[in-house]
Amino acid sequence: MWDKFFYSFPIQLFLLHVRKNIALVGIWALLSSIVLEGFGKVLGIPYLFLDPEYLNEVTWLGFFMVGIGFAIYTMAFHMTVYIIDGSKFKFLAILRKPFLQFCINNAILPGIFYLIYIFAVIRFQLDNDLENPWVIVEFLLGFAGGSIATFIFLFIYFGLTNKHFFVLFADNVDKQLRKASIPRANVISRYKDQKKRRDKILTYLSPSLKLREVRKDLFRFEGHKLLRVFDQNHLNLFLLQIILVILILFLGFFREEKFLQFPAAMSSILLLAIFTMAVGAVSFWLRNWATALAILIFLLVNMTSQTTLLNRPHKAFGLDYDTPPARYDIEQINAILHPDTVVMDKMETKVILDTWRSQFPENKPPKMVILANSGGGQRAALWSLNVLQQAHAATGGRMFKCARLITGASGGVIGAGFFREIYLRSLTDTAIDVTSQEYLKQISSDNLNPIIFTLLVNDLLIRNQYFEYNGRRYLKDRGYAFESQLNQNTKGILDKPLKDYYLPEKNGIIPMMAITPLIINDARKLFISPHSMSYMGVSMQRFEGQREKSQAIDFKRFFSKHDADNLRFISALRMGATFPFITPNIQLPSDPQMELMDAGLSDNFGIQDAMRFLYVFREWIEENTSGVVLVTVRDSEKFSEIEKKRPPSLVQKIVTPLKNIYINWDNVQTLNNEALYNYMREILEVDLERIEFEYATRNFVKERVGYADNDQVQQEEVEIERASLNWRLTAREKKSIVESIHTPNNQHSLKRLKEIFQDDTSPR
């Protein structure tokens, strides 16, 4: 009985994977770690699988699509192993439906993962504040339905195309067996030899899941004919792989159809399936040369990827790329920072400030508000919009009328830019409620599915689709998918050129807004604004003989010959919110080519730019305002407990240095910002007050009375799971972000804003 168990086909296949196919085992282990929230949680990767969103809703349909994806990957796993190792188990060739039998016996690893996934979904959804827990059953039935339907379809195909030995050689198999003249003693001898072999298979699972014994007379069948059965099966599997890849490429032509924008988890799994099947295809055609030729192909692709055809830039929509590129060198940078130019830009901004000041009573200087919004993907966009809505309501709209500058990075600027546009439209349309919860739903709607789907069907394979914007032709890449989805989510109100904000800013109706992506080439900032802001990149002392490296480049002036004013505003937002591997880095028409990265790398909180603006215009501020209010909207906590260190493992010693850099980047910027803020408070001759809002992971719940103002009521500290850094949020994450406004610190900040902006600061 032990031999029948240990030398059963399922156990031997499992041991073969552990011994030989480590990479395939590693993929299943990685997927298990992801769904158990042990990998990628900070980026929200597990939630793509545990809470899949399809057509902007989490329903059984999303789980149905994920079920299809996992079924396809499972079959890719079976096909790859069958192609690589199937011929080692020659008894399969004489079984009916050999590939089906193989899949049943090769189901240990996929089966373990499916059980883990079901457990993980149940655990996650029970903590997801569902109105009806029974909906979990609906989700799992959807997942099972997608998987089972896909398995049935594929096995029908295999049943019609894959032949076993007796079918393939039906004409002569009986004759061949009759001709075999093998003495009984020889048969017994061969049987004993087979029994002594340690790589033998004694039993296998049949389609009815019964344990059956392997035939002992395999030596009667000619080896080359057994291999021919496997080759025929392999060819059919390879054809299926080709059909799947062609189908995915075909779907790319219709990727803008919402029902074809698969959940991000499904797209990721399909991508993984393609790579897995590619391994099997290469092994089938190249045999022993597979590894060497695969390396050669990789090297050739890597070399040819530098060609124009395979390395077309990711463009900023609206810019003119046909005009000869702008010269990008030190001489040109210095030329656009001429002292006369800097003075002219300062004077233009002073005119804007004067226009704004004239809207208030002469004898009552207003407070100037600067809004600094930190980056952090979609959570920062939702948090920024939520804070601005709450502050707008608490101050009766007076705070935003006093706002003169918006700074920040990534999602925070997207949320602030969205609020600014809503506010601008509300000035001419009284039906618009700036504080409507509908806008929170819009900004937090899924923006990841079309990006990952585009990565699958276009960017990694063939980038061949174009669209027109402002009379110019651009490639449809992941950046286009991001902008299109953001445009749909926000009902198209941000889809306008940069120049459309020129007059509203100039007339003091809305605050100026600087989008400041980092230039990878030299670490300078690129200031994108409808008004030239060269004064943000250099001080006047530089023209007095001081050696000073310019810190920024004015986008409008640098790309004046490339129609900078017609840059699509959503493209500008994307330029400041480039998420690694998700939204591609944008290349601009310069020589050498200017490449941009997320603004958060240099100034995630927008404090540096805010303090620079205050410094440049400090004299005007002292003469025309009653003080400055710096409103900071952070998507992280400013103060956090210092974790206790434990003796590190060997792996931790390797990864800790890089991990420390990543973790402390937020703290480094915060400490530098503290120094800048304190310096500005000392030199500014009017009051500078900071009002801080934080998306907190710790909340204080006042027992039995909600968020009452009675400070004597006992408080209980509750840990809140932090929303992930992603362009897609779960329902639980959205709720935690929106409700974070009720923490004591944030409520105190709202109360303070209400005290500052009384009727005496109202415009005329």
Tell me the average confidence (pLDDT) per consecutive run of 10 residues in the chain, 764 residues long: 80 88 89 90 85 87 94 89 77 75 91 96 85 88 95 80 46 42 40 47 82 64 50 64 72 69 86 79 65 75 67 88 93 86 94 95 92 93 96 94 95 96 95 95 88 73 79 90 92 95 96 94 93 88 68 93 95 88 88 90 91 95 95 87 72 63 77 92 93 82 45 54 80 90 93 84 50
**Could you tell me the domains of the chain?**
1-172+186-288 (no CATH), 328-359+366-444+497-636+648-757 (3.40.1090)
Distance CA 458, CA 452 (A): 10
pLDDT of residue 205: 84
DSSP 510: S
- Cα–Cα distances in angstroms (integers) from residue 561 to residues 442, 475, 516, 591, in the given order: 36, 21, 20, 14
What is the SS3 assignment for 529-563? CCCCCHHHCCCHHHHHCCCCCCCEEEHHHHCHHHC
Among 369, 358, 443, which Cα is nearest to 400's? Answer: 369
- φ, ψ for residue 388 (rounded to 5)? -65, -35
pLDDT of residue 337: 84
| Helix (H), strand (E) at residue 99 | helix 98-105
DSSP states of 197-250 as a string?
-TT---EEE-TTS-EEEPPS-GGGS-HHHHHHHHHHHHHHHHHHHHHHHHHHHH
Q: Among all chains, which residue has been given the structure tokens 């590129």?
A: 325
Residue 418 is which amino acid?
Answer: F
Q: What is the pTM of this model?
A: 0.84
Structure-block tokens of residue 371: 């809004």
Q: Among all chains, which residue has been given the structure tokens 């069948």?
A: 221
List of residues 6+ apart from 3 with CB closer than 8 A: 202
Q: Within a 10 A sphere around the Cβ of 413, how many other Cβ atoms?
A: 32
Distance CA 504, CA 427 (A): 11
| C-alpha 488: how far from chain center | 18
Compute, in degrees rounded to 10, the torsion defined by CA atoms 30, 32, 35, 41. Answer: -40
How far does the chain reach from its first CA to its final CA, in angstroms?
94
| C-alpha 156: how far from chain center | 36
Compute, in degrees rounded to 10, the torsion defined by CA atoms 166, 236, 30, 34. Answer: -110
Provide the sign of the torsion angle of the four alpha carbons 430, 431, 437, 441, taken in this order.
Answer: negative
Distance CA 726, CA 582 (A): 9
pLDDT of residue 163: 52
Q: Within a 10 A sphere around the Cβ of 200, how many other Cβ atoms?
A: 15
Distance CA 742, CA 257 (A): 39
